[in-house]
């Protein structure tokens, strides 16, 4: 590393990891080294080349260094400031690229059924970081509204996630023409990326501490945009967050899963200190309860304590009662490994079968 250079690791080479690196290349003014870690050396080299070239022509002091698939080596490197996890063992794009009975099940039961797969890389990464002193920060991009509570229940410290409420807040900020998010407060869950089903609650929004009567109107453009395109916005918000973390500058923003909370919230970042910035009259228990209710539409909720449970929503449990009855009632957080194995066997079997019924959105 160069003198005074900060160091982070980005795990993953998919669309979101690429978008984040490409935005860091033009937005980050802090001297930094970004180690890109993944399974495919060719894809790693592509990300590092494009991001490095963008940084060079923009004049930004950011280097992008190819890593390997050796997660432990990457996360035990000296002088590591933080890690962003952008990879899991379940792609959100599978329903488009490889539809099957498995993706049809997710459409009926909810994306929350994939929770164990979304945590498969974030959990070991978090455990490696938790063993370090001082401990680097951890950001998780994989279904953070539910994965981050799971990490917290398993004793893995996680600073926050990226995406979801961050994307919604960026959309609302643009619709309102605000220069930043200091006057905006949004409480929303992953499920609010789509318009809520009839009878379900919409995201909550305030501007200058006054409730927004129709928050959905601020999110219409985002909801009408192809999901793949939205990674360009999410990656940019992640790059701005990481830049603030590296520089130690205050930032009023919105993040999912802060300190393991379910769903997304308005937050204030100062250094690595992260606090909720709620409108007057609302406290943490009330907004957490709102997001826990919203989580049922995703099909899963998580008790945030070591003796807690992962619980599936009624519709999800009904599907599992036929396909994996041992999991229909959920499972203890401590039994995550065995539940992952059982769901993995179900996924393998259903991937070999045609899609059948119409799939829902994830």
- Dist CA 176 CA 58 (whole Å): 29
- Dist CA 133 CA 126 (whole Å): 13
**Region 223-243: what's the mean pLDDT?**
97
Summarize pLDDT for 287-308 with one digit per residue, the tens: 999 999 999 999 999 998 888 9
Domains and CATH numbers, the chain: 6-161 (3.40.50.720), 165-234+263-295 (no CATH), 299-351 (no CATH)
Summarize pLDDT for 111-167 with one digit per residue, the tens: 999 999 999 999 999 999 999 999 999 999 999 999 999 999 999 999 999 999 999
Summarize pLDDT for 13-68 with one digit per residue, the tens: 999 999 999 999 999 999 999 999 999 999 999 999 999 999 999 999 999 999 98
Supply 27's token pair.
């937005």
Which residue has tokens 């023409």?
177
CA distances from 62 to 54, 134, 198, 301 (A): 10, 23, 47, 39
Supply 221's token pair.
């453009």
- Dist CA 250 CA 357 (whole Å): 48
Q: Cis link prior to 134 (omega < 30° from 0)?
A: yes
Supply 89's token pair.
């063992």
Report how many helices (DSSP H) and strands (DSSP E) the chain contains, helices first: 15, 15
- Dist CA 334 CA 123 (whole Å): 13
- Dist CA 90 CA 93 (whole Å): 9
Statement: residue 2 has pLDDT above 90: no
pLDDT at 306: 82
**Residue 63 contacts by C-beta under 8 Å, 6 or more apart in sequence?**
2, 5, 32, 33, 34, 52, 55
């Amino acid at each position: 590393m160069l003198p005074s250079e900060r160091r982070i690791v980005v795990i993953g080479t998919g669309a979101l990891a690429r978008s984040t690196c490409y935005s860091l290349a033009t937005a980050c003014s802090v001297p930094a080294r970004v180690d890109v870690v993944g399974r495919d050396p060719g894809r790693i080299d592509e990300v590092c080349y494009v991001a490095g070239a963008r940084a060079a022509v923009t004049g930004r002091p950011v280097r992008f260094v190819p890593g390997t698939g050796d997660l432990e080596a990457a996360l035990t490197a000296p002088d590591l400031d933080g890690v962003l996890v952008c990879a899991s063992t379940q792609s959100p794009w599978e329903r488009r690229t490889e539809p099957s009975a498995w993706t049809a099940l997710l459409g009926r039961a909810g994306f929350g059924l994939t929770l164990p797969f979304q945590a498969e890389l974030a959990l070991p990464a978090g455990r490696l970081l938790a063993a370090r002193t001082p401990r680097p920060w951890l950001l998780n991009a994989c279904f953070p509204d539910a994965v981050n509570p799971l990490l917290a229940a398993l004793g893995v410290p996680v600073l926050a996630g990226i995406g979801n409420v961050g994307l919604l807040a960026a959309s609302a900020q643009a619709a309102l023409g605000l220069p930043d998010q200091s006057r905006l407060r949004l409480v929303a869950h992953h499920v609010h990326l789509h318009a809520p089903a009839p009878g379900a609650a919409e995201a909550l929004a305030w501007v200058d501490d006054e409730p927004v009567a129709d928050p959905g109107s601020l999110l219409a453009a985002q909801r009408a945009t192809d999901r793949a395109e939205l990674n360009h916005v999410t990656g940019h918000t992640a790059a701005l967050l990481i830049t603030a973390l590296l520089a130690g500058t205050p930032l009023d923003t919105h993040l999912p899963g802060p300190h393991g909370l379910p769903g997304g919230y308005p937050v204030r970042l100062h250094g690595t200190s992260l606090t909720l910035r709620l409108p007057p009259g609302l406290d943490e228990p009330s907004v957490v309860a709102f997001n826990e209710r919203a989580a049922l539409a995703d099909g899963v909720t998580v008790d945030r304590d070591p003796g807690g449970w992962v619980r599936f929503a009624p519709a999800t449990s009904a599907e599992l009662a036929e396909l994996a009855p041992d999991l229909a009632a959920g499972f203890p957080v401590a039994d995550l490994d065995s539940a992952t194995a059982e769901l993995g066997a179900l996924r393998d079997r259903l991937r070999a079968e045609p899609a059948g019924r119409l799939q829902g959105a994830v």
